[in-house]
Amino acid sequence: MQNERKVALVVGANGVIGRNLVEHLTTLPDWEVVGLSRRGGTDTATVRHVAVDLLDAEDTRAKLGGLTEVTHVFYAAYQDRPTWAELVPPNLAMLVNAVDAIEPVAPGLRHVSLMQGYKVYGAHLGPFKTPAREDDAGHMPPEFNVDQQQFLERRQVGKRWTWSAIRPSVVAGFALGNPMNLATVIAVYASISKQLGLPLRFPGKPGAYHSLLEMTDAGLLARATVWAATDPRCANQAYNINNGDLFRWSEMWPKIARFFDLEVAPPLPMSLETVMADKEPLWEAMIAEHGLEPHSYAEVSSWGFGDFVFSWDYDMFADGSKARRAGFHEFVDTERMFLDIFADLRKRRIIP
């Protein structure tokens, strides 16, 4: 299978996960890539983009009906909603519509990869069992990640294709206009702090500053996702994918501040969504002053997600040894990951 021509359908190709997955697949000699997203994209020699509204079953069938050559579906789409219950219908519908559209027309379909997260373990609800393991007991719904996996499990029975469920921690990588991008949250927050002559204060709950947590590098995640989708040993299983190290913000925060040439002041709990709501004029002025790329404030703002992550005043990590036992042995140093992403954002002229 490794040398056979494979065609990837990356659903959610413009997000931090999908974008890095597309980039990884284009480096592999035996893959063609089709990227799905609401906004679409510019076609290249290696990637074809399709703009589609996955919530519209008819539009999805029309746009995907000609993709008969697809062998692997990588599902990483997400739509945000205000409550956990409201997240279920759209996020389940998008997956169902995508599979309903592609399965009947793609006779060579081999695998459907589902991107999940630690919400499967109830990590978003409060202190949960750590390290979380793939066979841990479930929790009270609603939870769209669980509903999506159950749909694939039922749909796969008696079929030639297989599925995998990939469970990263907080994913860090480059993508703009994404509602869940912690590295950009920190970079823009630090840049605005510096512009105002302020030290870098940790804005989360007091307990969050000292809790243990982990991250998942988007590049590492892309490589693990392709591995699980192509290794027969991984068929119809879930895998935690993380960098392999743990950290506390109390240790990481001063290193981040040093990158931005900032002092560190004691933590001060505050809602970024609230205190950063009036900073758009300042951001526009920073673009002009520092010659930044003219990305809107909305494109670089994920303050609600930052508040969510910085509210975890409990340990947040999972056991990644199942993937290692199955053959995926890569790891990433999380401090190096953050600094590399910040350097990349500077190189792209996203931040000063």
Q: Predicted confidence band at 2 (pLDDT cuts at 50, 70, 90)?
A: low
The DSSP 8-state label assigned to residue 207 in this structure reads G
What's the Rg (C-alpha) of the chain?
Answer: 20
For 98-117, what is the HEC assignment? HHHHHCCCCCCCCEEEEECC
For residue range 32-64, what is the model confidence (pLDDT) as tens digits? 999 999 999 999 999 999 999 999 999 999 999
Q: Predicted confidence band at 179 (pLDDT cuts at 50, 70, 90)?
A: low
CB 164 within 8 A of CB 111: yes
**How high is the pLDDT of residue 174?**
86
Q: Predicted confidence band at 181 (pLDDT cuts at 50, 70, 90)?
A: confident
CA distances to 42, 151, 328, 330 from 93, rounded to whole Å, are 26, 10, 31, 33
For 138-155, what is the HEC assignment? CCCCCCHHHHHHHHHHHH
DSSP line for 20-81: HHHHHHTTSTTEEEEEEESS-----SSEEEEE--TT-HHHHHHHHTT-TT--EEEE------
Instruction: Say which residues have a Cβ less than 8 Å from residue 24's Cβ, sequence separation at least 6.
Output: 219, 222, 223, 226
**How high is the pLDDT of residue 321?**
98
Q: What is the dihedral of CA 93, 95, 100, 103, to 10 degrees?
A: 180
119: tokens are 């919400």
Amino acid present at 286: M
CB 172 within 8 A of CB 341: yes
For 6-171+217-241, CATH number?
3.40.50.720
Task: Kindly tell me if the per-residue pLDDT of 4 is higher than 90.
Answer: no
Locate the domains of the chain by residue range. Answer: 6-171+217-241, 173-215+246-316+331-345
> Average pLDDT, whole number, for the chain?
96
CB 332 within 8 A of CB 223: no
Query: pTM to 2 decimals?
Result: 0.96
- When pLDDT is averaged across residues 4-19 and rounded to a whole number, the result is 94
Candidates 65, 73, 57; CA nearest to 105 is 65
The DSSP 8-state label assigned to residue 348 in this structure reads T
**Omega prior to 142 cis, within 30 of 0:** yes
Task: Kindly tell me if the per-residue pLDDT of 1 is higher than 70.
Answer: no
| Gap between the Cα atoms of 141 and 138, Å rounded | 9
